[in-house]
Structure 1
Amino acid sequence: MRERAVQRQDRLLSLVRRRGSARVTDLADQLGVSPVTVRRDVEALTGRGLLDRVHGSVSWPRRRDRPGGGRGPDAEDLVLGLLAPSATYYFADVIRGAHEAAAPAGARLVLRICDYRPAEDPARAAGLLAAGAEGLLVAPGWRGPGDQAAYSDWIAELPVPVVLLERSVPPGGPLAGLDRVCSDHTHGVLLALRHLTGQGHAAPLLVARADSPTALAVREGYAAALRALGVRGPRPVIGSVPADRDPEGFERAVQELRSAVSSGAATAALVHNDVDAIRMVQRLAELGVRVPRDLALVAYDDEVAALADTPLTAVAPPKREVGRQAARLLLERLRERAEGAGGGGTDRGMGGGAGVVPAAGAGSVPDADPAAEPAPRRHVTLLPTLRVRASCGAGAGTGGGATG
């Protein structure tokens, strides 16, 4: 298989970082490519500020390091790495938020995308480290229910501070002790169901995918939200799939929802995500089911819900704020590390060993000097809001913008 340019450039960066400087011809020999290819890569990398180039050789930029190997979090050109499963739709706002928090601190954000291929996450993270990242914001490319267990141990072994983005992990696992910032999707589902039941609808149906951590969290939150409202669930979740990838599966979901409406079993539904919700509304109209006349509908994500023919009421996770707070938390960890408070001679401020505590303790070290201990790890959970529009009856009796 032919090596991708980004992988080759990551290897090139790693070589230069280890050696400090290298001739282009030597790099070509070690990488097994032509000098012309290396020159092209060097031109791209120097243009992004990742390398310095002088007279046929390249060097690691001196401004990255201070004497003694330390640096402060406000130093010029501090690099934060961000590993995300996508740069579009949901994660576009997360990335923007992280950039907005990093820039005022003089930090530069470097991005790697894994396209929801969790097996490629370690290589992408290695690329970020080779590019000079001193801390990582990590949203693993987990997709199915078993991905977290199969593709998570590597995160705990990272040699730099790590903050998880929009990912929850079970207690006691290797990642449980890491900092993380995520949306409370159970609360988001509760907002939607409370709004619909408050309008007099019986237990709303849930139509949802099962191909992302957000989708799985929405499914889990559905049962919890019904219990919190004291509502008996109507019927199992209607499983949805992307219409462009599985037209027949998508049509089955539409027909199941139509049948529930036609039989009187349901008058309201929550649909994850926006794109599926818009397409379902269009297809239901072709089948004679009108929103909101026959079905009150709330979408989940609020990326494009407002652009539907009938603007869709939608749950809006605080995506941009997730990115902002995660980047600020990572900068704080880097500051602690630079000042000697975050490392303390241990790995507790990093990925490696971050989730491990002594068997006899509860996250504390016996007889440790309190003044030398790092700040506690944080699990920051942000609440979604509900943006009320026309698809659930124009929000009658709720005002125009319920937030819960």
Structure 2
Amino acid sequence: MRERAAERHDRLLELVRARGSARVSELAAQLGVSPVTVRRDVEFLANEGRLDRVHGSVSWPGATDAPPQGGPASGPGPAPRELVIGMLAPNATYYFAEVIRGAHEAAAAAGTRLVLRISDYRPQEDAGRAAGLLAAGAEGLLIAPGWKEPDDPVEHGAWIAGLPVPTVLLERRGVPGRELDDLDRVCSDHSHGVLIAVRHLLGLGHSTPLLVARADSPTAIAVRAGYRYALDALGLKSPLPPIGSVSAEVDPAGFERAVQALRTAVLAGRATAALVHNDVDAIRIVQRLAELGVRVPDDLALVAYDDEVAALADIPLTAVAPPKHEVGRYAAELLIERLRRGPGGGPGAGAEGPRRHVDLLPRLRVRSSCGAPSETLPNTATPRS
């Protein structure tokens, strides 16, 4: 199978990065392609600022003008090179679009270049994509693995602990006591987000709210765990087990079962309030309930989780808003600080001092769907370390 240009570029960059500089003929021999192809690749990468061309050879940005054979350098060295950090995210839309934006803004403010790769929620490919970021010149990594299942951190996460550069996990947590738990990380505190939603509904006079949630992402799993934590913290017992929700597009029958289970609980008087993860599901649930004769907020007070599109619903949805932008910003700032305080040499290396686990608190944005006056409660996107 013919190698794609992007894959060849990654291999070329890795060769030059390891050696500092190399001649085009040497790269052609090692890559198994013609010198013409290498010269074309080098021109493309140099135009992107990822390589320097020096007297018929190629050098890593910021390296001296020393010939590949190791002869003495001639003249003064170049200006300090631009710091490059890499970011691996499961997607670039919905939840993670704002995380990426926050990281990019922080990198730009620090004069640092951010390189992004997307995993499309295929955790078995995460390691290869991270290797591509390193080959593209990343000296530190922001990693949000494409985990979906509860066992994914163990099955598809060990490679992260072996990365040769400073690394920060974002919106992901390692298993306590295992390798990834020793890394820097910046996360939303979803347990707190669920807790403020439950407290708000209780404060409006409702009984313990039901949970309607997916189980197909780390956020969904964290919301489910946060629900158990909130009930324990408040000394409550759920009137029914959590209702499992699914995408209406992927599993229409499963989605209908979830709606019918919630409707039955409302009509039986077992639930007057619900917390629904995520926004899209919540909007569709409200629409379907209306068709079945259950009105929000008259018959059911509802709070959504994520706050991506909740405000755009026919009945604007009260929603828990994780501090996504701030997660990206804090993570990028932490990584850049690590890189600038000392040399690399391992995940989180380059810093004198302890690793950091930073939890940022979500806020509750109150709208019409819970039957209370609109407001934001509270403005709590502040770190817990």
TM-score, shorter chain, exceeding 0.5 = yes
For the pair 1:114 / 2:122, whether they are aligned, the reply is: no
Alignment CA distance shift 1:65-1:314 (3 Å): farther
In structure 2, distance between residues paired with 1:332 and 1:60: 26
Q: How many residues get paired? A: 366
Report if the CA contact (8 A) 1:46-1:52 is conserved: yes
Q: Describe the shift of the 1:279–1:99 C-alpha distance in structure 2 as closer, same or farther (beyond 3 A).
A: same
Cα displacement (A) at 1:6: 3.5
In the alignment, the residues of structure 2 paired with residue 233 and residue 269 of structure 1 have an alpha-carbon distance, to the nearest angstrom, of 11
Q: CA RMSD in A?
A: 2.6
- Aligned mates of 1:66, 1:83 — CA distance in 2: 32
Aligned residue for 1:195?
A: 200
Q: Tell me, what secondary structure is at the counterpart of 1:63?
A: coil
Are residues 1:383 and 2:361 paired?
Answer: yes
2:244 to 229, 235, 239: 239
Partners of 1:197 and 1:36 in 2: CA distance: 70
Which residue of the partner structure matches residue 9 of structure 2? 9
Question: For residue 201 of structure 1, what is the amino acid of its counterpart?
Answer: H
> Structure 2 CA distance, aligned partners of 1:60 and 1:392?
61
Pairwise CA distance, 1:401: 1.8
Equivalent position of 1:51 in the other structure: 51
TM-score by length of 1: 0.83
Question: CA shift at 1:62, angstroms?
Answer: 3.1
Cα deviation for residue 48 of structure 1 reads 2.7
2:84 maps to which of 61, 79, 82: 79
For residues 317 and 66 of structure 1, the distance between their equivalents in structure 2, rounded to whole angstroms, comes to 48
**CA distances 1:69-119 after superposition (whole Å, capped 9, x unpaired):** xxxxx9541001111111111111111111111112211001111111111
- 1:349 Cα deviation (Å)? 3.7
After superposition, the C-alpha distances for 1:274-316 in whole angstroms (9 at most, x for unaligned) are 1111111122222222211221111111111111111111100
**TM-aligned CA distance change 1:65 to 1:203, over 3 Å:** farther
CA distance in 2, matches of 1:16, 1:97: 31
CA contact (8 A) 1:64 1:78 kept: no
Map of 2:289 onto structure 1: 284
Q: 1:287 to 1:133 in 2, by over 3 A?
A: same
1:311-350 Cα shifts (integer Å, max 9, x gaps): 1111001111111111111111112224xxxx6xx75743
Q: Is 1:129 the counterpart of 2:134 in the alignment? A: yes
Q: Are the equivalent residues in 2 in contact too, given 1:76–1:107 (CA < 8 A)? A: no
Alignment partners' CA distance in 1, 2:32 and 2:260: 55
Structure 1 residue 190: deviation in Å? 0.5
Q: Secondary structure at the match of 2:286?
A: helix
Change beyond 3 A, Cα 1:34–1:331: same
Change (3 A) 1:79 1:294: same
Cα gap change, 1:160 to 1:389, in 2 (>3 Å): same
Seen in structure 2, the aligned counterparts of structure 1 residues 189 and 58 have a Cα distance that, compared at 3 Å, is farther
| Among candidates 149, 155, 167, match of residue 150 of structure 1 | 155
Structure 2 match to 1:325: 330
Shift of the 22–245 alpha-carbon distance from structure 1 to 2, 3 Å rule, reads farther
User: Structure 1 66/216 Cα, relative in aligned 2: closer, same or farther at 3 Å?
Assistant: farther
Q: Whole-Å Cα distance in 2 between the matches of residues 189 and 60 of structure 1?
A: 52
For 2:335 and 2:228, how far apart are their aligned partners in 1? 34
Residues 298 and 2 of structure 1, relative CA distance in 2, 3 Å threshold:
farther
Whether the aligned pair in 2 keeps the contact of 1:274 and 1:302 (CA below 8 Å) is yes
1:37/1:243 Cα in 2 relative to 1: closer, same or farther (>3 Å)? Answer: farther
Match of residue 105 from structure 2: 100
> Is the Cα–Cα contact under 8 Å of residues 212 and 274 in structure 2 kept in the other structure?
yes
Q: What is the aligned-residue identity percentage?
A: 69
CA distance in 1, matches of 2:261, 2:122: 31
SS of residue in 1 equivalent to 2:342: helix
Aligned to 1:70: none
Corresponding residue of 2:257: 252
Q: Residues 280, 33 of structure 1: CA spacing in aligned structure 2 closer, same or farther, 3 A cutoff? A: farther
Say whether the 8 Å CA contact 1:318–1:383 is kept in structure 2.
Answer: yes
Which stretch shifts more, 280-289 or 1-10?
A: 1-10
Q: Contact 2:163–2:346 (CA<8 Å) still a contact in 1?
A: no
Secondary structure at the counterpart of residue 214 of structure 1: helix
Q: Relative CO higher for 1 or 2, CA cutoff 8 Å, sep ≥ 6?
A: 1
Note the C-alpha offset of 1:30. Answer: 4.5
Long gaps (5+) in structure 1:
68-73, 352-372
SS at match of 1:334: helix
In the other structure, the counterpart of 2:73 is: none
Mapped to 2, the partners of 1:40 and 1:172 lie a distance apart of 48
Deviations 1:339-376 (A, max 9, x none): xxxx6xx757439xxxxxxxxxxxxxxxxxxxxx8211
Contact 2:17/2:60 (<8 A) preserved? no
Q: CA, structure 1 residues 154+295, in 2 after alignment: closer, same or farther (shift >3 Å)?
A: same
Match of 2:224 in 1: 219
Amino acid at match of 1:169: G
Shift of 1:26: 6.1
Greater displacement, 166-175 / 150-159: 166-175
Q: Which runs of 5+ in 2 are unaligned?
A: 67-78, 381-385
TM-score (norm 2): 0.87
| Residue identity matched to 1:267 | T
